[in-house]
């Protein structure tokens, strides 16, 4: 007795049904995971500073490096900081060059985000004027606090921003009442 073949249209329906069931199962798993994790929350990191970080001559005087760099990626997350990889394009103060890492307060863990209220997180692909010091207990550098320590640059703003910081470097002062760096 010959085998009875399943018509193509019926086989197609079985295949489409199997695909739809797989999509529904995956979507259900993702939705369940999101519901179990709960909604994303944002937490504020409230910084305090030993000196006026908006006064550029103090910021330049305290910093070891003032440079222009492009953020190329995130190297790691080490709460309470994110470690970024940078390609230094120009050094205005100090001798940073090539690929370096910079730590910035703020990080993401799961759906939750911790942000520094004075300084937006760096964006991968963005170019910035950055004010940094070497990390004392490891490799790389740490971004100083305040919005003046990480200024996004565009073709339109670059010349003006660089001029302001070059003047601040020329007029730099070590902040009063701040102990010398170790």
Would you put residue 38 in left (φ > 0), alpha (ψ -120 to 50) or beta? left
Q: Work out the percent of the chain whose per-residue pLDDT is above 90.
A: 67
Same domain membership, residue 117 and residue 90: yes
pLDDT tens digits, 68-124 = 999 999 999 999 999 999 999 999 999 999 999 999 999 998 888 999 989 999 999
Tokens of 124: 């991968």
Q: Is residue 144 part of a domain?
A: yes
* Structural domain total, the chain: 2
What global pTM score does this model have?
A: 0.78
d(CA 173, CA 162): 18
Tokens of 66: 């003032």
Range of the domain at 65: 56-170
CATH number of the domain within which 118 lies: 2.40.50.120
Same domain membership, residue 108 and residue 142: yes
Sheet holding 112-116, edge to edge: 42-45, 112-116, 107-109
d(CA 171, CA 73): 33
What is the rounded average pLDDT of the residues 13-19?
A: 58
């Amino acid at each position: 007795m010959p085998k009875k073949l399943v018509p193509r249209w019926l086989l197609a329906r079985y295949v489409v049904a199997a695909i739809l069931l797989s999509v529904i199962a995956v979507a259900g798993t993702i939705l369940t995971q999101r519901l179990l994790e709960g909604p994303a929350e944002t937490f504020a990191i409230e910084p305090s500073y030993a000196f006026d970080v908006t006064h550029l001559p103090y910021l330049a005087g305290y910093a070891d490096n003032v440079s222009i760099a492009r953020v190329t990626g995130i190297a790691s997350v080490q709460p309470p900081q994110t470690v970024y990889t940078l390609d230094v394009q120009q050094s205005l103060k100090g001798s940073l060059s090539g690929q370096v890492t910079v730590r910035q307060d703020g990080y993401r863990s799961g759906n939750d985000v911790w942000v520094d209220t004075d300084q937006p997180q760096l964006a991968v692909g963005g170019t910035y004027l950055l004010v940094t010091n070497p990390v004392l207990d490891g490799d790389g550098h740490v971004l100083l606090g305040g919005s003046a320590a990480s200024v996004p640059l565009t073709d339109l703003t670059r010349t003006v921003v660089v001029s302001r910081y070059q003047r601040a470097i020329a007029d730099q002062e070590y902040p009063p009442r701040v102990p010398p760096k170790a």
